[in-house]
A = this chain, B = another copy of it.
């Protein structure tokens, strides 16, 4: 659950749980920065605009990203 900006990293707790790409309103990939030396992947769910920090180290999340980009780029 992303914490307010006051903490160094907005994603302290990250989830390995699978997410259905169709249930995603938005996926943000935020690269490491001075204020937070970790890549952040934040999913915003369609259902209740809930934001979830996904674990960039997890194979499950890697596969979600693959599925999402396949869905997006299916015509190119």
**Chain A interface residues toward B at CB < 8 A:** 24-31, 33, 39, 41, 46, 56-59, 61-62, 65-66, 68-69, 72-73, 75-76
Closest chain B residue to A46, Cβ basis: B31
Number of this chain's copies in the assembly equals 2
Chain B residues positioned under 8 Å from A46 (CB to CB): 31
In the A-B complex, the 5 residue pairs with the closest CB atoms: A62-B73, A27-B29, A26-B30, A57-B76, A28-B28
Whether the pair B75, A57 counts as a contact (CB closer than 8 A) is yes
A12, chain B: closest CB distance, angstroms: 18
| A30 surroundings in chain B (CB, below 8 A) | 25-26
In whole angstroms, what is the CA distance A62 to B31 when docked?
A: 18
